[in-house]
Structure 1
Amino acid sequence: MTGIVIDHGSSVAPYDQLRQQIIEQVQTGGLIAGAKIPTVRALATDLGLAANTVAKAYRVLGEQGVIETRGKQGTFIASGSDPVRAQAEQAATAFVKDVRALGYSDDEILTMVEAALRGA
């Protein structure tokens, strides 16, 4: 996850800042259904937060239906209320994962998608 910034001087609790920013990224399409998000420990380390702070944000996001935990597979952005859009987002996520595994950069993937859109 990129673009998450925690303001330690804010009157808003760090867990709530994190929760709000994840929701905002979901609403703006920065995070889409099926996207895997970092583990609690990894995100805590990246953001300089206590693991319990991230765990609390994840717990609340889970209760709100924004994320879902799939056991050992990890934590993912949940499917929204629009099942067709959720399916499309999951297909896009799977495509990017598969093409990255082939060694292509994000810029190359975007070029491929743009070409496919022009040809469709």
Structure 2
Amino acid sequence: MTANSHPHSEPGCRAVSEVLSRVGDKWTVLIVKSLQAADEDGRRFNDLKRDIGGISQQMLTRTLRSLERDGMVARTVHPTVPPQVEYRLTDLGNSLAVPVMALADWTFENMELIHANRSAYDELANAA
């Protein structure tokens, strides 16, 4: 490994930051979670939009395109009228689903404790 490709070098840090900004984005996490739960045929756009509360059509489109560009999502257009488009995780996307699901599970397991800690912190901050 050369100095320029080491993850702790400046170019390496930029590369890691770029990828983490994509895979750590809340919409990416929710899309990967939704697609991971789908069968092998994938999910249609409107199914994803319904499953992911609060995401706009524009943000869903933008995030799916980025994930497709990165090779994590495959897009299939079926020749119907109107055309039906389905999305599914690729092998790379499925490998991302493993840590994403672990992070989601951790969040649900610790959500009450996090909220309690926030409340205690806010009370102390407001008292000061």
Relative to the length of structure 1, the TM-score reads 0.38
Larger radius of gyration between Structure 1 and Structure 2: 2
Comparing both structures, which one devotes a greater share of its residues to strand?
2
Relative to the length of structure 2, the TM-score reads 0.37
Comparing both structures, which one devotes a greater share of its residues to helix?
2
